[in-house]
Copies of this chain bind each other. A is one copy, B any other.
Amino acid sequence: MSDTYKSPLILISNDDGVTAPGISFLVNQMMKLGEVVVVAPDKPQSGMGHAITLGNPLRLEKVTIFDGVEAYKCSGTPADCVKIAKHYVLHDRKPDLVVSGINHGANSSVNVIYSGTMSAAIEAAMEGLPSIGFSLCDHSHEADFSHCLDFVYNIAKKVLENPVEAGVALNVNFPAKSENSLKGIKICRQANAKWNEEFETRKDPFDSKYYWMKGEFENLDDGNDSDLYALENNYVSIVPCKYDLTDYNTIDTLKKIF
């Protein structure tokens, strides 16, 4: 390391909120790699997708829950957290890496579009910053993250050393802890799958109806290059994600119709 080496600046967010166990594991790993700043939601924001707060102001408060780390809780969504971190908290300091998670729950396959964890990473990618979202396929608050930690460190280190193309966020998912060791990393595409939803109808104490969404996840993909295939076979999956939603394959078809 040369004398001019500057410790990388790593911004951390998540969607389970600043007090979730997953983010503290992430902070601990990232502190070994550089200077860490945390800006994370003040409450759980699961399923927030790429929501941002437009019609309301945001609150931002310093918290002292991570030893030796500058950290803030924010009243907004994960995407808001990245925006306020980049444009207010960090002033003109540009993070070398933005990481989000470790999420309590899978963000593989189609779930990426609903994911608050990944929205923080994708928002960073939109700002041209290298970014990674980490998720564990176990949504319990007491989930065991021990098998992920070396991978989290090594994946972040590799991205710091080899920043991927601007505009790309890595979606990293870990299989839930089991008696089998993880077999390694697979670079994947997002699996084709769907949620088959149901709305459970209930009545509140005032006899008014309300509806609670529940669903069964259905894997429709039989390829061996998908993230679901990797996870089912005890690999860590990494899917590069972009924010350009254009379906280039359909442009010519549409030109014939319109």
Contacts and interface: CB of A to CB of B under 8 A. Distances in A.
Contacts of A170: 254
B246 A50 contact: no
A42 interface: no
A202 interface: yes
A72 B199 CA distance: 15
B242 A245 contact: yes
Instruction: Kindly state the interface size class of chain A when it binds its partner.
Output: 35 or more
Contacts of A127: 194
Q: Which of A86, A254, A255 has the most CB of B within 10 A?
A: A254
A256 to B, nearest CB: 9
A31 interface: no
Contacts of A143: none
A48 B51 contact: yes
Nearest to A105: B54
A198 interface: yes
> By DSSP majority rule, is chain A's interface helix, strand, loop, or mixed?
mixed
Interface string A216-258: 0000000000000000000000111111111111110111011
A65 interface: no
A164 interface: yes
Interface string A98-136: 000000000000101110000100100011000000000
A47 B79 CA distance: 11
A170 B58 CA distance: 32
B50 A114 contact: yes
A197 interface: yes
A250 B166 CA distance: 11
Interface string A137-169: 000000000000000000100110010110110
A158 to B, nearest CB: 6
Interface of A: 44, 46-55, 57-60, 77, 79-80, 83-84, 86-88, 110, 112-114, 119, 122, 126-127, 155, 158-159, 162, 164-165, 167-168, 170-171, 185, 187-190, 192, 194, 197-199, 201-202, 208-213, 238-251, 253-255, 257-258
13 contacts: A49-B51, A50-B51, A50-B114, A51-B51, A54-B213, A87-B199, A113-B126, A158-B258, A164-B253, A168-B250, A187-B251, A239-B245, A241-B246
Give 4 nearest A-B pairs by CB, closest first: A49-B50, A240-B250, A242-B247, A57-B210
